[in-house]
Amino acid sequence: MKFPIIMLACFFIALLAVGSAGEMITNSIDEENRIKVPSRMRDLQAGIPVNPPWDDDSGTKLVLLGTTGGVTWYPGVDSASSSSALLVGDTLYIIDLGQGSTSKLAQAFNSKTSDSGTSTFLENARALFFTHLHQDHIADYPSLLLIGPGTGLGTRTDPVTGNVTIVPLVVIGPADRGALEIDKSYYIDRKGTIIYTDSADPSQVTPTPGTRQMTNLTWQAFAQTINDMTLDNAYRDFTKLIEIREIGGNQQGDIYFPVPDVDLANSTTCAAMDPFEVYRDGNVVVTAILVDHHQVFPAFAYRFDMSDGSVVFSGDTGPDTRGNLEKLSEGADILVHEVIDRAWIDERMGFPNETSPAYALKTHLLTAHTTIDAVGSVATNCSVDTLVLNHIVPGNTPDSHLEQAKANFSGRLIIGKDMMMIGIGKDSPVHSLP
Ligand SMILES: [Zn+2]
Ligand SMILES: [Zn+2]
């Protein structure tokens, strides 16, 4: 019997570098402004040191919020799952939101010194991008949505007038994937439960909801608290604070996905294509391309072009993207790439016979993800100066294993740790956030 290839994926890692922040509060401001001005802006105006150093002159920054991949917590590992942020000026762009990453987001960007009793730090978040909809990339999305109205999400406060306007956070991610694991017999034989969405509209019933439906179902799942918060606590309408733009969706505002010649019936979920634009504003142009995270379709890599430089996020992928990742990375400065430790797979799974179910699973892990010994060649072929390892599986992979990525890469290798801040531009310094 054919064994189903389970979308295993990821796991954990650890470590945190912890620094410490700066100085004492030196100024105060009048009570009028204290009420109206967003906390971060107010702190800057008041000369209060904020965390991180927003006003340093190192330009655009890449902040690693969560650097593990997968769904299993390893003993002693407290690192969050996959999530990164780009800070352009004081504007935030977020890439994936795996387990624990909302807390890291607050740890990184919510001023510790505000004395107003409320925070508006998410006013600075302009767009959120999902590479694909596995839990180690989305689990903290409901958390972000729920804390949103209490932290300024989807709003802007005029620092002079104090007037608040709604500027929804743009949420970009895949549309409904439409198909599950091809061979479900192994699971169904064991009376496994396949979950479908519940809807009055049969056309909306699916086992693989896309970004919009996932969001709408989140509102429904948390209806009790959301209704109470808006009716009793005068919170803003949660649903107005975000704007969904699905890649490949068919609603107004959705993003056209030029689907290449894939063969989903045979699990061929990646084919050669050209990058396509998914987002643009005054700070960034974001392009996407298909990568190989079979049987997930689509799974995207993203590239952010900014005035200080360009950063590519691989998302989850095997090393062979039919040239797509190389094409997306052309002329980029930094590649943030997932890795899995082959030694860990060997230790867990041994070396199964080619006809055994375990062999298929092992092959899957080695081709739908990228092993440490393969990622250096990927970075070399992508011609980037800096390779940042993230989505590290397992989470407790020793640095000595991760350093093997240097074998086929002569550029700068950065082993990603939660709360690491990497400058983008000439000097591109690396710091650990407090
Ligand atoms: Zn993953
Ligand atoms: Zn995945």
Output the CA 32–ligand 1 centroid distance in Å: 46
Residue 339 CA: which ligand is closest? Answer: 1
Return residues with CB closer than 5 A to ligand 2 (ion).
9, 134, 316
**Alpha helix stretches (DSSP H) within 17-100:** 31-36, 39-45
Distance in angstroms (rounded) separating the CA atoms of residues 359 and 251: 42
Residue 154 falls inside a structural domain: yes
Residue range 196-220, pLDDT digits in tens: 998 888 888 999 999 999 999 999 9
Output the CA 10–ligand 2 centroid distance in Å: 7
Half-sphere exposure of 372 (CA within 13 A, CB side): 25
pTM of the model: 0.86
Residue 69 CA: which ligand is closest? Answer: 1
Amino acid at 318: G
Output the CA 166–ligand 2 centroid distance in Å: 33
Cβ(353)–Cβ(301) under 8 Å?
no
Residue 13 falls inside a structural domain: no
Output the CA 24–ligand 2 centroid distance in Å: 43
Q: How confident is the model at residue 136 (pLDDT cuts 50, 70, 90)?
A: very high
State the Cα angle at 198 between 194 and 204, rounded to 5°: 100
Count CB atoms within 10 A of the CB of residue 343. 14
State the Cα angle at 401 between 398 and 402, rounded to 5°: 90
Cβ(267)–Cβ(194) under 8 Å?
no
> Residue 236 maps to which CATH number?
3.60.15.10
Structure tokens that stand for 281 in this block = 């504003």
DSSP state letter for 404: G
Residue range 281-329, pLDDT digits in tens: 999 999 999 999 998 999 999 999 999 999 999 999 999 999 999 999 9
Residue 15 falls inside a structural domain: no
Residue 9 falls inside a structural domain: no
Residue 407 falls inside a structural domain: yes
Q: What confidence score (pLDDT) does residue 113 get? A: 55
Amino acid at 5: I
Task: Name 115's bridge partners.
Answer: none
Number of folded domains that form the chain:
1
Residue 39 falls inside a structural domain: yes
Residue 125 falls inside a structural domain: yes
Output the CA 132–ligand 1 centroid distance in Å: 8
Residue range 329-359, pLDDT digits in tens: 999 999 999 999 999 999 989 999 988 878 8
Residue 314 falls inside a structural domain: yes
- Domain carrying residue 329: 31-432
Distance in angstroms (rounded) separating the CA atoms of residues 434 and 420: 9
Average pLDDT over the chain, rounded to whole?
84
Output the CA 200–ligand 1 centroid distance in Å: 32
